[in-house]
Amino acid sequence: GEDVEQSLFLSVREGDSSVINCTYTDSSSTYLYWYKQEPGAGLQLLTYIFSNMDMKQDQRLTVLLNKKDKHLSLRIADTQTGDSAIYFCAEKGSGNTPLVFGKGTRLSVIA
Partner 1 sequence: EAGVTQSPTHLIKTRGQQATLRCSPISGHTSVYWYQQALGLGLQFLLWYDEGEERNRGNFPPRFSGRQFPNYSSELNVNALELEDSALYLCASSTRRGPRDTQYFGPGTRLTVL
Residues at the contact surface with partner 1, assessed by CB under 8 A: 30-31, 33, 35, 41-45, 48, 50, 88, 92, 94, 96-104
We find the least distance from the C-beta atom of residue 15 to partner 1, in angstroms, to be: 29
Report the amino acid identity of residue 12: V
DSSP H helices, the chain, are none
**In terms of Cα–Cα distance, which of 109, 111, 100, 110 is closest to 33?**
100
Secondary structure class of 96 (helix, strand, coil): coil
Least distance between partner 1 and beta carbon 72 (Å): 16
Question: CA angle 89-90-95, nearest 5°?
Answer: 165
Q: How far is the CB of 90 from partner 1 (least distance, A)?
A: 8
Comparison of 50 and 110: residue with beta carbon closer to partner 1: 50
C-beta of 41 vs 77, nearer to partner 1: 41
